Amino acid sequence: MNFRETDLLHLWHPYTDTNKFEQIDFPIIQSASGVRLKDSNGKEYLDGISSWWCVNLGHSHKHVVNSIVQQSVSLQHSITGGMSHTAVIELSEKLSQVTPGDLNRVYYASDGASGIEAALRMVIQYWWNLGQSEKKNIISLSGAYHGDTMGTVGLGFLPKFHKPIEHVVNRSLQIPAPICFHCADSENCTLQCFKDAEQILTKHSKTTAAVIIEPVCQGAAGIRIYPPEYVTKLRKLCTELDILLILDEIAVGFGRTGKMFASDLAEIQPDLMVVGKSLTAGYLPMSAVITTEEFFDSFRSIPGQDRTFYHGHTFSGNPIAAAAAIAALEVFEKENIIEQSKIPANLLKSGFEAFSEKPGVHKTKTLGCMSSLEISEQAGGAKATEKMAILALKEGLIIRPLGPIVYLWPPLVTNKSEMKEMLSIFDYCLDCCISV
């Protein structure tokens, strides 16, 4: 089969400009192992973006693969509505153990966006259950990204992506997000930006059901890394104002920040935590909303009020995805992944610090295994990062720019020499593509 021709005849690629795509020699991946993907011609690529931020344990991990195979043989699907199965019970206990404080109740959805949708419906119904249906609005951060369903798009409206559906999207109220790249005080941060949160939440507390944020890093907005203290302060404020706090840990959960969860870094417990992506180490789609017993209890029906949460998905708690997630958590523990991730994290930090000296690089930021830099407008901005991504592919590294931002988001298991190789290709591409 001519894969390229057949692809161009039949596939509709997400987030892909068709005209540009048809012009490039895009890779057609056939297999992967560790931090490398291999295309149909045998060429290898380092995975600099952990395959859309979900392959924290790298590709083709034996333990996860074996667990998936075994589970597929014994039970591939069984519903979780009105009954249960062993794999989902085991996973729920494990998630309760690894998540902060008393987040002990787990609800499963199919992917990140559907997990967020579930969380949104939960918080709105929570206040309805308590007879406070005026608390129905959700507040998010500007530039937020929580998924691509109609409900989640409303939380993080981005003109470039959502202009054509603007007239039907129900947009949430937004707090101006902390953007450290553009902040004069970012070196000696005193969280002046938090004043916006204080002002908006105080004003709207009576009608607000919940605040939702991507803690410590707004991913799709441009890997906007910001201080955990912002999240800590937000927790305190939400408690004072009787507003629920939803942390979207879909991208940053499972070790990405150097701790198991961003909540751990901020030393807080949200009311609801949503996880996805690397929950199954990127093997199968699955997401979860994890909350407290107290929150869950408010959904018990009482005489005269049916409080059941009538919301669900065919694949909610799917056994094979659950088996992958259990295996992933076992790998985290057995292989001490958080400790291991310090190797790529430290190299990323020093690498990006060095990049910040280059002319044309506006600013760099790193946290755990996340790193980003902004190319200034004069040095080419978004055009330069686009060129970089194409050149990086030729050189054997997968990266995806976000406007003028370009970043590395390597698997947590990337070893020293692999990380050095990624940084060296990145360095070369920067030098070739920045116009100074």
Give the footprint of ligand PLP on this chain (CB under 6 A).
111-113, 116, 145-147, 214, 219-220, 248, 250-251, 276
The least CB distance from residue 119 to ligand PLP, in Å, is 11
Find the shortest distance in angstroms from Cβ 113 to ligand PLP: 3
Rank residues 147 and 270 by Cβ distance to ligand PLP and give the closer one: 147
At 373, list the tokens: 């830099």
**Please, what is the minimum distance in Å from the beta carbon of residue 11 to ligand PLP?**
18
C-alpha span between 110 and 105 (Å, rounded): 17
Q: Which CB, 312 or 396, lies closer to ligand PLP? A: 312
Residue closer to ligand PLP, measured from CB, 44 or 148: 148
Tell me the C-alpha distance between 415 and 1, whole Å.
36
* Residue 225: other Cβ atoms inside 10 A: 23
Smallest separation, CB 52 to ligand PLP (Å): 6
Tokens 């018990």, residue located:
300
Residues 341 and 369: beta-carbon distance below 8 Å: yes
Lookup: tokens for 342? 């310090």
CA separation for the pair 215, 52 (Å, rounded): 18
Nearer residue to ligand PLP within complex by CB, 245 or 433:
245
| Position of minimal CB gap to ligand PLP | 112
Distances from the Cα of 4 to the Cα of 10, 45, 340, 424, angstroms = 10, 18, 38, 29
Cβ distance to ligand PLP smaller for residue 234 or 425: 234
Q: How far is CA 173 from CA 136, 143, 205, 236, 304, in A?
A: 12, 12, 12, 20, 33
**Which of 115, 404 has the CB closer to ligand PLP?**
115
Distances (CA, A) of 373 to 4, 147, 293, 365, 404: 32, 23, 41, 6, 8
Residue 45 CA neighbour count, 13 Å, CB half:
25
Q: Provide Rg for the chain, Cα atoms.
A: 22
- Least gap, CB of 55 to ligand PLP (angstroms): 13
Question: Please, what is the minimum distance in Å from the beta carbon of residue 291 to ligand PLP?
Answer: 17
Q: From 289, 290, 284, select the one nearest 319 (Cα to Cα).
A: 284
The token pair at 344 is 């790529």
**Among residues 117 and 271, whose Cβ is nearest to ligand PLP?**
117
- Looking up tokens 């149909």 gives 40
Q: Check if the beta carbon of residue 248 is closer than 8 Å to that of residue 213.
A: yes
Nearest residue to 122 via CA among 104, 141, 110, 136: 136
Q: Which is nearer to ligand PLP, 151 or 276 (CB)?
A: 276
Look up tokens 């991504």; give the residue: 389
Nearer to ligand PLP, 100 or 219 (CB): 219
